[in-house]
């Protein structure tokens, strides 16, 4: 059987899960297989290294890494794998997620992490699907459909607004 697309979602803490659920929703919508694990760059550094080292061998195509505060998880995973890593900065309580964003986005040359917006979990999954679309044509087709659906939703909203403005 041909290899199926698979995404590893890794989060630094269970407290990140409410945000990560946005990624899960998108992956379900696209029918992409995924796993979700808690793994901290600071509290379980060996596990983080092992997970990233084995990700390719375990059939993953892309890693989404969610982390908050001094958010080193995406960068650490990227250090141990050649798979693309998408960093999802979690909004923290004290600095509104700016700490997470800057910790993830400012990677040194050679070890990229594709960083999405603070709490941008839908976009993290969408970007992962787009990357997979380069390898799995059926996902590219689904992405065309997804964008068409988005555009239609905007058109419906615009029509509704025009109707309201005309007092219909
Ligand atoms: C990070 O520290 C986690 O990704 C989380 O966003 C943040 C706080 O973790 P907890 O103290 O809630 O476990 O490593």
- Ligand 1 center from residue 51 Cα (angstroms): 18
State if residue 13 touches ligand 1 by the CB under 6 angstroms criterion: yes
Coil, helix or strand for 123? helix
pLDDT tens readout for residues 62-106: 999 999 999 999 999 999 999 999 999 999 889 999 999 999 999
Q: Is residue 167 part of a domain?
A: no
State if residue 97 touches ligand 1 by the CB under 6 angstroms criterion: no
- Cα separation, 165 vs 168, whole angstroms: 8
The CATH number covering residue 108 comes to 3.40.50.1970
pLDDT tens readout for residues 103-147: 999 999 999 999 999 999 999 999 999 999 999 999 999 999 999
- Ligand 1 center from residue 6 Cα (angstroms): 25
Number of domains composing the chain: 1
Q: Is residue 54 part of a domain?
A: yes
Q: Is residue 148 part of a domain?
A: no
- Cα separation, 22 vs 41, whole angstroms: 22
* Domain span at 131: 6-137
- Does the structure show a pLDDT above 80 at 168? no
Report phi then psi at 128, rounded to 5.
Answer: -60, -45
In this prediction the pTM is 0.95
Among the listed residues 55, 4, 52, 59, the one whose alpha carbon sits nearest the alpha carbon of residue 27: 4
Tokens 């700016």, residue? 98
Q: Is residue 166 part of a domain?
A: no
Minimum-distance ligand 1 atom for the alpha carbon of 11:
4
Q: Is residue 142 part of a domain?
A: no
């Amino acid at each position: 059987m041909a290899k199926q697309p698979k995404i590893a979602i890794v989060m630094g803490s269970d407290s990140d899960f409410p945000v990560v659920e946005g990624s899960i929703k998108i992956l379900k919508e696209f029918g992409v297989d995924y796993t979700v694990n808690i793994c901290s760059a600071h509290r379980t550094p060996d596990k983080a290294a092992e997970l990233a080292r084995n990700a390719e061998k375990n059939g993953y195509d892309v890693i989404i890494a969610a982390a908050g505060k001094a958010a080193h998880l995406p960068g650490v995973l990227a250090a141990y794998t050649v798979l693309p890593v998408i960093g999802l900065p979690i909004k923290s309580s004290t600095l509104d997620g700016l700490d997470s964003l800057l910790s993830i986005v400012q990677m040194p040359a050679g070890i990229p992490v594709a960083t999405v917006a603070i709490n941008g979990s839908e976009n993290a999954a969408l970007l992962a699907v787009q990357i997979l679309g380069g390898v799995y044509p059926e996902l590219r087709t689904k992405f065309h459909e997804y964008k068409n659906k988005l555009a239609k939703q905007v058109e419906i909203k615009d029509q509704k607004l025009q109707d309201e403005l005309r007092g219909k």
